[in-house]
Amino acid sequence: METYQYGGQSRHRIGGSRVLLGFCILNQIFIRTAMPWQRESWRMNWIVWLYQLAFPLALVVAAPWWLLRMFMTKRYREGLGERLGWVPRRLLLAGDEREVIWVHAVSVGEVIAVLRLIAALDEQRPQARVLLSTTTRTGQQIARARLGADRVFYCPLDLAWPVGAWLRALQPSLLVLVETEFWPGLLSGCFRRGVPVMVVNARISDRSWPRYRRLRALWQPILRRLSAVLAQSEQDAMRLRALGCTTVEVAGNLKYDLKADTETEIVSLLRARSLSACESRDEKRCAKMSGSRWLVAGSTLDGEEQGLIAAWPRVRARYGDLLLLLAPRHPERFLAVAQMLDESGIPWLRRSELNSAEQMRDGAEILLLDSIGELAAAYAVAEVAFVGGSVTRGGGHNPLEPALHGVPVVMGPHVENFRGIVADMHAERAIVIAQTADFNAIFEALFSLLSDRAAARAMGERARQVLARHAGATERALRRIDCVLEAKGRRQG
């Protein structure tokens, strides 16, 4: 009986293995039949083949976790059809024979960085239709708000059939990747179809570099086929060349080409706050609120909101006119931060419940920015800004968004993700970097700027000048796109 039980278990496992094996074999059959297989480097062929064998296995192994997350969280279900290769009708405009330029940006930061480039392509190449794919839900929401749903979609899973379905439907003339979105399946699918691939704003972060370097032999035969790679800095260019990229040039950072939003709803509400108080004809309240100043804490991560909220009573005791706009980086954390604020006893409001400046009159000291896409504009009202992800080990976030408005910036010591930008600003005394990863150091820097408005304004102006001095990456990217498309035209002609 015991032998039979073990045998039953063994047979069950063999059956599961056959399912996994069949799943992988189907993917390989699709690669060999649905995608034209040209004579390429044998190393690249085998690397992609093994990758396309391993990736479905990893997906199947992780399936229980993904299914649970999809059941519990809407963001894991959203766009599933598009990720699996379903091309929605909104993207297939009947009778539109324009060439397609496919741009891929992972999330919010990359989307915002590439929007100026897309706008310039729309203007300079009216014969082309520029479409944008994203990976994250937040990136998708920002992209649809700025470009419209008929130009935006979720990037397919890096498997042969979803990638093949999108490439057949769009038939792009060019794929433009933002930063370092190197997906072997997508890249090899483009190479086989003769679709040139270029990378803009390319970078290899300090955190990613050791992993890329260990796998250099695997990346080299794939990356050397890229048509153009525009690196943010010389260090990024050196790292990319070491990985096998042969067409690398330093073109600067697209994020320096930010453009200030016009007056938005959030800015209007925050600026109207003082006027609303005075219209109430409450002289004491008007006198108190008309001089109010905003500290904007943007792109904060877990651990940073706790530090800001815990220190807030001490801050208000010193600066009674100061208000806090708190903007968590990840939308899924809005509820957790709201619970922290409830437990703190500090008067606060949600942005999602704020419809008029009148609501800001009743003693609220903190506004939770539980919305997507408003932070960059909201920096315009700040007296001083703290940019998050820099006290915890998050690598930091973009200090150029407040700098665009001439707002002085304070960050913690963990700024690896924006190393070049922070170095440029620090060299011009246009940013304050706390030496220790604690909020005592952060608030000492903030207090210094709040106490000396002339020094704060001078720092903000220096930051704005740094941004203007390093602009131009968009124009350089446009010129390189023209060169890549012209080279493709000559090959086809």
For residue 286, name the pLDDT band (cuts at 50, 70, 90): very low
Query: 398 with 109: CB under 8 angstroms?
Result: yes
Q: Determine which of 284-288, 358-362, 370-374 has the lowest per-residue pLDDT on average.
A: 284-288
> In this prediction, what percent of the chain has a pLDDT beyond 90?
66
Distance CA 337, CA 245 (A): 43
Distance CA 342, CA 402 (A): 28
User: Where are the CATH 3.40.50.11720 domain residues in the chain?
Assistant: 77-252+472-492
What's the burial of 170, exposed, middle or buried (CB within 10 Å: 0-12/13-18/19+)?
buried
User: Where are the CATH 3.40.50.2000 domain residues in the chain?
Assistant: 265-469
Of 140, 112, 231, 255, the closest CA to residue 480 belongs to 231
DSSP-derived letter for residue 438 is S
Higher pLDDT, 41 or 252: 252
Q: Which CATH architecture has domain 77-252+472-492?
A: 3-Layer(aba) Sandwich (3.40)
Across the chain, mean pLDDT equals 85
Query: 240 with 202: CB under 8 angstroms?
Result: yes
Which residues touch 67 (CB under 8 Å, ≥6 apart)? none
Check pLDDT > 90 for residue 464.
yes
The residue assigned the tokens 């942005």 is 351
What is the C-alpha radius of gyration for the chain, rounded to an integer number of angstroms?
25
Is 265-469 assigned to CATH 3.40.50.2000? Answer: yes
Distance CA 346, CA 247 (A): 55
Q: How many Å is the maximal CA-CA distance in the chain? A: 89
Higher pLDDT, 281 or 332: 332
Distance of CA 36 to CAs 83, 160, 165, 280, Å?
Answer: 22, 12, 13, 71
The model's pTM: 0.83
pLDDT tens-digit series, residues 315-341: 999 999 999 999 999 999 999 999 999
Check pLDDT > 60 for residue 225.
yes
Distance of CA 349 to CAs 244, 358, 397, Å?
Answer: 51, 12, 25
The residue assigned the tokens 């069949």 is 22
Distance CA 85, CA 91 (A): 13
What's the burial of 306, exposed, middle or buried (CB within 10 Å: 0-12/13-18/19+)?
middle
Which residues touch 7 (CB under 8 Å, ≥6 apart)? none
Higher pLDDT, 321 or 356: 321
Higher pLDDT, 422 or 260: 422
Read out DSSP for 255-280?
GGG-----S-HHHHHHHTHHHHHHHT
For residue 42, name the pLDDT band (cuts at 50, 70, 90): low
